[in-house]
Chains A and B, each alone.
Chain A
């Protein structure tokens, strides 16, 4: 009884902070999503409009397009980060000259603020002054302009995200790989299992919880990407890189449409939770065939 009370006392500060900075704003956003509210308009009052915002959102082609672009971005970025991160983690498990320096340099992008990353990549990809278009043109004869080419803009953002966040995946997977017991690997080698078999049947199942946790973190992060994209392309050209985060930003700040912006936020939150839950259920949750 005593330890239970002590547990609640120790948890209390976290719960209070979570309530005021997590639960309360969430409830407020849900509340606003059922209203029409433009605080800078002639009539700045919040007007309850039932589910009209939700009725509108399912026909909003700009929003649906932004969801599609975001899903594509998340798929390419997170999958690439996972694959590259795994290979880097495996590389860091071995000894090679300059490993410590390389590991430090490799982790540097993680400590950069996304807005800085966006600015740096903006400088590197601006056609007249950027290093990337310059060398692409000089070495391969490819002219790259992310201001006019939608595929180039999208690919640049995916590459930028991979560059920025792969170190996180690498660090998590290194931690998972280091903690693996050696016995199953030795036994598998004695039994004559190949590298591929060891990976699919031993390594992957054993690091699956870490992989899923990493995917969770990256998925949630990638779904709300705004600042890097805003800095690099501003959502353009056209709507090629108008991710949902950028769409919400444009809806809320330039248009000051707070009600509808909140509705989009709620739907994005819903999509994020459902994707994470589906991932959890398919990969980790204990299954039992019930008769």
Chain B
């Protein structure tokens, strides 16, 4: 028998608290769990796709590719910071 009947309860509470700490993850707008490298990768993928799309459909209309680059850079910043 334990001399401290409260002890198991306290340890259970602490364990629960630890478990909660471990399960709390930073939230972002991406639908999957990511680390910073994943978000960098996603940004580069989107950057390239956007530039190719721009070359094919937007640049012939007269808009410079630098607009696509600026937009992609801004998007990359948002994704890495808040994704």
Residues of A whose CB lies within 8 Å of any CB of B are 51, 54-55, 58-59, 267, 270, 273-274, 277, 281, 285-291
Contacts and interface: CB of A to CB of B under 8 A. Distances in A.
Contacts, number: 37
Contacts of A277: 41, 45
Given A51-B51, A59-B56, A270-B48, 11 more contacts: A51-B55, A51-B65, A54-B52, A55-B59, A267-B52, A273-B45, A274-B45, A277-B45, A287-B32, A288-B33, A291-B27
Contact of A290 (B27, B41, B59): B27
Given A274-B45, A277-B45, A286 B55 contact: no
Interface in B27-83: 27-29, 31-33, 41, 45, 48-49, 51-52, 55-56, 59, 65
A54 B51 CA distance: 9
Nearest to B34: A285
Contact of A286 (B29, B33, B51): B33
Interface of B: 25, 27-29, 31-33, 41, 45, 48-49, 51-52, 55-56, 59, 65
Contact of A285 (B32, B59, B65): B32
12 contacts: A51-B65, A54-B52, A54-B55, A55-B55, A59-B56, A273-B45, A274-B45, A285-B32, A285-B33, A286-B33, A290-B27, A291-B27
A54 B27 CA distance: 36
Nearest to B59: A55
A287 B45 CA distance: 20
A285 B55 CA distance: 32
A27 to B, nearest CB: 15
Contacts of A54: 51-52, 55
Contacts of A291: 27
Contacts of B27: 290-291
A55 B57 CA distance: 11
A289 B33 CA distance: 9
B60 to A, nearest CB: 9
Nearest to B54: A58
A55 to B, nearest CB: 5
Contacts of B31: 287, 289-290
A54 B29 CA distance: 31
Nearest to B30: A290
A285 B28 CA distance: 16
A290 B28 contact: yes
Nearest to A282: B32
Nearest to B42: A277
A166 to B, nearest CB: 31
B72 to A, nearest CB: 13
Contacts of A274: 45, 49
Q: Give the one of A58, A270, A277, A286 with max B CB within 10 A.
A: A58
A113 B29 CA distance: 47
Contacts of B33: 285-288
